[in-house]
Amino acid sequence: MSGENNLTRAQAWEESENVGRNASGNPTLGDVIAARFNRRDLLKGLLGVSAIAATVSPVALTASPNARAQSAPSFAFKEVTAGVDENHYVAEGYDADVLIRWGDPVLPGAPAFEPMNQTAKAQLGQLGYNNDYLGYFPMPGTANPSAHGLLAVNLEYTNEELMFPGIGRQDIKSANFDKMTKELADIEKAAHGGAVLEVKRENGKWRVVHGSKYARRIHADTPMEITGPAAGHDRMKTKADPPGRSVLGMLNNCAGGITPWGTWLSCEENFHGYFWGTLEDSHPEARNYKRFGVPDNWQVWGKWDERFDIVKEPNEANRFGWVVEIDPFDPNSVPKKRTALGRFKHEGAAGITNKDGRYVVYSGDDERFEYVYKFVTEARVDTQNPSANRDILDRGILYVAKYNADGSGEWMPLVHGSGPLNAVNGFDSQADILIECRRAGDLLGATKMDRPEDVEANPLTQKIYVMLTNNTRRKADQVDPANPRADNAFGHIIEMNTADGDHASTRFTWEILVRCGDPSIEKVGATFSSATTKDGWFGMPDNCAVDHMGRLWIATDGNSRSATGRADGVWAMETEGNLRGTGKLFYRCPEGAELCGPEFTPDDETLFVAIQHPGESPDPKDRGIFEKPATRWPDFKADMPPRPSIVAITKRGGGKIGV
């Protein structure tokens, strides 16, 4: 069961899903740091700001920032006031326009949204629930690539208590899915997956092009291909798919990435919650499933669709937790689960073309005490012929990160036969390693992080930013320089530097850019710059975006009245010069919502954001349900529930965002 009555779904999932299943004996660097500092210093927390900052990453501290990024303008906008209420807010002089909402038609012929008359058939043609990652693809041949393109949208998960009348939370123990019907479960399955929208900006305003030949809805039963080293492996075979090479649907697709060859990478995150049943401890997959928390019984789908019942179909859960590559320009293309990039709770898959032409994809595994990964292709990206890159993600090396106490770091290859990754430890092939990335990382001694979410490289500076959202389960004796706070309620951001700008290198240096939380409360230990206002600090960094001037923008998940006295939103974050570490609030979500998918058009004149689960509340008995949501944004009509929506932010009168 997912949690208790007095938690929001997101909080309950965190309590349940992110229980910190990493039982490996990897040093949390408590061991490592003990070699440098005694335990009493650690407990005093004094290593906090000054000592670690001064001892970590001398290389990074002396490196001169890239000249182009240094010349990027500081953020110029009037800061939004932090707080929480029913509405959303953007900096003065900007418009934040709703582009499309849950239930609005995507496919030609789809019906208008009727909250009291929902059907799976209607939902399959409409925008599904909880829009997350957004990827913008300029339309080839268009006069203005920043005014006409495709928007790829992840549809992560469903909130039955906000979607459907009269049922409340069904995943909690007391409800036990009593009010869930097959009909409702089918609507939920239809509301998952993704969408492709053709979007156009005319007279300054964005709209979805209806009847577009590119329009697409991907859902929990969309046929997909499994490619790469795990395709066809025995552990990928099911009754419905004896060859182990095709699967229906993608689930819990959180963040993602876009490739230079024009495809959308969509990442399966909390796949474990969709499975139910009980697997015997003696089952060959028991150790694997335990490490990922499968099954977690968040959904009742297994009652009617036996592939989600691990007793009836014990291999199905091995077919989720992958990065899915999709060609957004061909609505008939078969999405491909690229197993070479590993199976874990992928937050995102932001990539960068390395200086030698290989493609490098960074990805965090979003759970407490999990790892940061990167994948380096074997082949170089063919910039002249995009279709030559079609299967480039099937071959390459996956690495897991180790953050050393001295500010250096190592990328350790997850390659069959290297070190302990062999048959003695239950890895008979590369497929075994990819299916059980976490256990492979355990054996290599990867660093247990505070819930790694987005990991994104800045192409102008080659620096890499890692969002670590929080980890309240880290104990004082588990802190390490890369995860320096016990009971880390507000998260932090790590900045990594490649060796010589080489993203394929196995070496890096790192330092903490900022520890999040309220800097006015000493015991929080936040390290925003002193230029940060009372509105400029935030907690729980989750997604991020780098604009085309090389500036970092942070999206958050988990700020609330009780946690930080503020709603989630988008904060600008200075990374260079003497303002480094300054946050500045640009956009604020309506109550209960999380900010996802920040995405700039190539000209930086539009920032698309995805507003997920508006109206959630920590007290679902009274608020945060269909009948009584915490907000009715964006429609504010008594007969309309709140709706997850995509918002286009532009400057009134034109111009780049934040300049």
The residue type at 614 = P
Query: Does residue 557 belong to the site contacting Ca ion (CB under 5 A)?
Result: yes
Please report how close the Cβ of residue 252 comes to Ca ion at its closest, in angstroms. Answer: 10
Whether the Cβ atoms of residue 171 and residue 164 lie closer than 8 Å to each other: no
Query: Does residue 17 belong to the site contacting ligand FEO (CB under 6 A)?
Result: no
Whether the Cβ atoms of residue 217 and residue 124 lie closer than 8 Å to each other: yes
Please report how close the Cβ of residue 589 comes to ligand FEO at its closest, in angstroms. Answer: 15
Partner in contact with 269, chosen from ligand FEO, Ca ion, none, beta carbon below 5 to 8 Å by kind: ligand FEO
Query: Does residue 366 belong to the site contacting ligand FEO (CB under 6 A)?
Result: yes
d(CA 288, CA 534): 45
Please report how close the Cβ of residue 236 comes to ligand FEO at its closest, in angstroms. Answer: 24
Please report how close the Cβ of residue 209 comes to Ca ion at its closest, in angstroms. Answer: 28
- Between 436 and 542, whose beta carbon lies closer to ligand FEO? 542
- Between 156 and 394, whose beta carbon lies closer to ligand FEO? 156
Please report how close the Cβ of residue 344 comes to ligand FEO at its closest, in angstroms. Answer: 12
Query: Does residue 511 belong to the site contacting Ca ion (CB under 5 A)?
Result: no
Please report how close the Cβ of residue 282 comes to Ca ion at its closest, in angstroms. Answer: 35
> From the list 191, 254, 412, 493, which residue makes contact with ligand FEO (rule: CB under 6 A)?
254
Query: Does residue 605 belong to the site contacting ligand FEO (CB under 6 A)?
Result: no
Query: Does residue 347 belong to the site contacting ligand FEO (CB under 6 A)?
Result: yes
Query: Does residue 453 belong to the site contacting ligand FEO (CB under 6 A)?
Result: yes
- Between 432 and 568, whose beta carbon lies closer to ligand FEO? 568
Q: What are phi and psi of 477, to 5 degrees?
A: -85, 5
Whether the Cβ atoms of residue 490 and residue 514 lie closer than 8 Å to each other: no
Query: Does residue 599 belong to the site contacting ligand FEO (CB under 6 A)?
Result: no
Place of tokens 């320009």: 329
The residue type at 301 = W
Please report how close the Cβ of residue 453 comes to ligand FEO at its closest, in angstroms. Answer: 5
Q: What does the H/E/C string look like for 203-250?
A: CCEEEECCCCCCCEEECCCCEEEEECCCCCCHHHCCCCCCCCCEEECC
Q: Among 369, 376, 308, 310, which Cα is nearest to 342's?
A: 376
Positive/negative CA dihedral, 288, 292, 295, 300: negative
Residues 532-571 close enough to bind ligand FEO by CB under 6 A:
542
Could you give the string, one character per residue 105-144, with x where binding to ligand FEO holds by CB under 6 A and - elsewhere? ----------------------------------------
Query: Does residue 450 belong to the site contacting ligand FEO (CB under 6 A)?
Result: no
Q: Among 565, 657, 616, 630, which Cα is nearest to 82's?
A: 565
Query: Does residue 161 belong to the site contacting Ca ion (CB under 5 A)?
Result: no
Please report how close the Cβ of residue 60 comes to ligand FEO at its closest, in angstroms. Answer: 26
Of the ranges 68-76, 298-306, 555-563, 582-590, which one interacts with Ca ion (CB under 5 A)? 555-563
Partner in contact with 576, chosen from Ca ion, ligand FEO, none, beta carbon below 5 to 8 Å by kind: none
Q: Among 160, 105, 88, which Cα is nearest to 594's?
A: 88
Q: In the structure encoding, which two tokens stand for residue 605, read together?
A: 């004149």
What element of type H or E holds 376? strand 372-380
Partner in contact with 156, chosen from Ca ion, ligand FEO, none, beta carbon below 5 to 8 Å by kind: ligand FEO
- Between 347 and 574, whose beta carbon lies closer to ligand FEO? 347
Q: Burial of 485 by CB count in 10 Å (0-12 exposed, 13-18 middle, 19+ buried)?
A: buried
> What single string gives the DSSP state of each residue in 98-152?
EEEETTSB-STTPPPP-GGG--HHHHHHB--SSEEEEEEEEPTT-S-TTTEEEEE
Query: Does residue 104 belong to the site contacting ligand FEO (CB under 6 A)?
Result: no
> From the list 432, 542, 547, 574, which residue makes contact with Ca ion (rule: CB under 5 A)?
542
Peptide bond into 328 cis (omega under 30): no
> Site residues (CB under 6 A) for ligand FEO?
156, 254, 269, 347, 366, 453, 542
> Site residues (CB under 5 A) for Ca ion?
254, 542, 557
